[in-house]
Amino acid sequence: SKPSFSNANFPTTPEGRTYHLGTKGGEVANRILSVGATQRAELLSKLLDPPPNGGQLFRYLSSRGFLTVTGEYQGTPISIVSTQMGMPNMDFVVRECRAVVEGPMAVVRLGTCGALQPPASLGQLIIAHSSINIRRNPDAWSDLSTASMLPAYMFTLPVQADPHIVRLLAEEASSTMGASNVISGLNATADSFYSSQGRVGGNFDDRNEGLIEEMCEKYPDMVSLEMETFHLLDMARCSGGRVRAAGMCLALADRKSNEMLEYARLEQLEVEAGLAALRALIKTDLD
């Protein structure tokens, strides 16, 4: 039967389970690896230490499809949380994990992205030293006469990732994947996989034909396009120092050639990048 929730401001069950992730105090570690796909969470959970006495890792799959797996990596507690896609889902993960964890937190996102421009290329791991948000501006489509003046897409100022975690990720990823397969740069988090990432098609009036070019011109350092990192870094910025965060992603789409990475190659890269994330997380100083 469905549990009942109280307090519409921040709904929890009587035992303290959150509304979307469904976890409660004691079930989530201070160090969190946020991954997009549930399958990736399952895959990377195999890298955690085998639980003592033949036991099982803690697992909770919420009714909304968020999977939390908690265990240890080399003796340090870690949770792997499947975050699904987009900023609202990242919002659930950061806020609901923050609500059930005591003390300082470190969150690393390992996702996938499009490679925007050189030096980014297919199959690389791209670490975001900072991120901007690109969103479609619906007012530009308004019938009001002033709307034609408005830009169809809006770019925010950058937000920085935690420099300590970024450095650890770069070191660890260079060792698991080879330094030539790891770059860092400015990320862009979009509010759509399609319109605000410059994908064109005939079904909607997206006015985004020049968007990729505009991004490259305005931000020569912009390398990756995805849908979550900016919000993670923005939440960390607003956490009063209680959440430190960084994001990185595997480039599986090339936005110049429109080539895509073969799926078979992705799994190996996910393991190498996941290992780097776990190693960086346990080395992250939380005090």
Does the protein bind ligand DUR through residue 197 (CB under 6 A)? yes
Which one-letter amino acid corresponds to residue 174? S
Which one-letter amino acid corresponds to residue 223? V
Does the protein bind ligand DUR through residue 191 (CB under 6 A)? no
Q: Which stretch binds ligand DUR (CB under 6 A): 51-59, 61-69, 105-113, 122-130?
A: 105-113
Chain centre to alpha carbon of residue 227: 7
Minimum separation from the CB atom of position 157 to ligand DUR (A): 21
User: Do 207 and 148 touch, CB atoms closer than 8 A?
Assistant: no
Does the protein bind ligand DUR through residue 111 (CB under 6 A)? yes
**Judged by CB, which is closer to ligand DUR: 17, or 255?**
255
Minimum separation from the CB atom of position 30 to ligand DUR (A): 24
Q: Which stretch binds ligand DUR (CB under 6 A): 65-73, 106-114, 175-183, 270-278?
A: 106-114
Does the protein bind ligand DUR through residue 195 (CB under 6 A)? no
* Nearest Cα residue to 103 out of 233, 256, 284: 284
Does the protein bind ligand DUR through residue 193 (CB under 6 A)? yes
Which one-letter amino acid corresponds to residue 113? C
Here the tokens at position 180 are 């030539």
CB atoms within 10 A of CB 56: 9
Here the tokens at position 15 are 């035992």
**Residue 59, strand partner residues:** 69
Tell me the C-alpha distance between 206 and 221, whole Å: 25
Which member of 71, 114, 198, 274 binds ligand DUR (CB under 6 A)?
114
Minimum separation from the CB atom of position 12 to ligand DUR (A): 27
Sites of contact with ligand DUR (CB under 6 A): 36, 85, 111-114, 193, 197, 225-228, 252-253
